[in-house]
């Protein structure tokens, strides 16, 4: 059974750095084809893809946020960490981590995000 859970601060001040941790079970990030991504959703708004890390430590970032994001993994702890610098009130959102599912070995792409955490609401305010 695959489960994921996000953790981190609920409130951050503008210009601060946000660090979120995704702790998962039911799979290993050392297994070929496995990936974990981060997606966020501002209140009442649409989903926005942020970043993805592969089992081989390859990383992908949203082009619009690439300069502010870093994604890392700790395989021994079954954790993926997302940091976002220079937080702004517009970054207020529920942040989800998700298991990237249906890996296509020929292309290196994932079919979708099949398992999601419950999400954690991060508010940016002074």
Partner 1 sequence: QSALTQPASVSGSPGQSITISCTGTSSDVGGYNYVSWYQQHPGKAPKLMIYEVSNRPSGVSNRFSGSKSGNTASLTISGLQAEDEADYYCSSYTSSSYVFGTGTKVTVL
Q: Which residues bind partner 1 (CB under 8 A)?
A: 37, 39, 45-49, 52, 60-64, 96, 101-102, 104, 109-114, 116-119
Residue 46 C-beta: closest distance to partner 1, Å: 4
Q: Which is nearer to partner 1, 11 or 47 (CB)?
A: 47
Residue 69 C-beta: closest distance to partner 1, Å: 11
CB atoms within 10 A of CB 51: 22
Q: Which is nearer to partner 1, 21 or 101 (CB)?
A: 101
CA-to-CA distance for 38 and 34, rounded, in angstroms? 14
CA 116 to centroid of chain Cα atoms? 10
Q: Give which of 74, 63, 90 is closest to 36, Cα–Cα.
A: 74
Distance of CA 7 to CAs 15, 58, 62, 121, Å?
A: 20, 23, 21, 10
Residue 54 C-beta: closest distance to partner 1, Å: 12
Residue 17 C-beta: closest distance to partner 1, Å: 22
CA-to-CA distance for 43 and 5, rounded, in angstroms? 19
Q: Which is nearer to partner 1, 15 or 64 (CB)?
A: 64
Q: Which is nearer to partner 1, 46 or 90 (CB)?
A: 46
């Amino acid at each position: 059974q695959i489960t994921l859970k996000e953790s981190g601060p609920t409130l951050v001040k503008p210009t601060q750095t946000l660090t979120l941790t995704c702790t998962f079970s039911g799979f290993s990030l050392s297994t070929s084809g496995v990936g974990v991504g981060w997606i966020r959703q501002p209140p009442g708004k649409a989903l926005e893809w942020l970043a993805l890390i592969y089992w081989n430590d390859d990383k992908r970032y949203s082009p619009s946020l690439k300069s502010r994001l870093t994604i890392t993994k700790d395989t021994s702890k079954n954790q993926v960490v997302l940091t976002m610098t220079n937080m702004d009130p517009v970054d207020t959102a529920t942040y989800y981590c998700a298991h990237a599912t249906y890996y296509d070995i020929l292309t290196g792409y994932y079919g979708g995000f099949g398992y999601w955490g419950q999400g954690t609401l991060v508010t940016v305010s002074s």
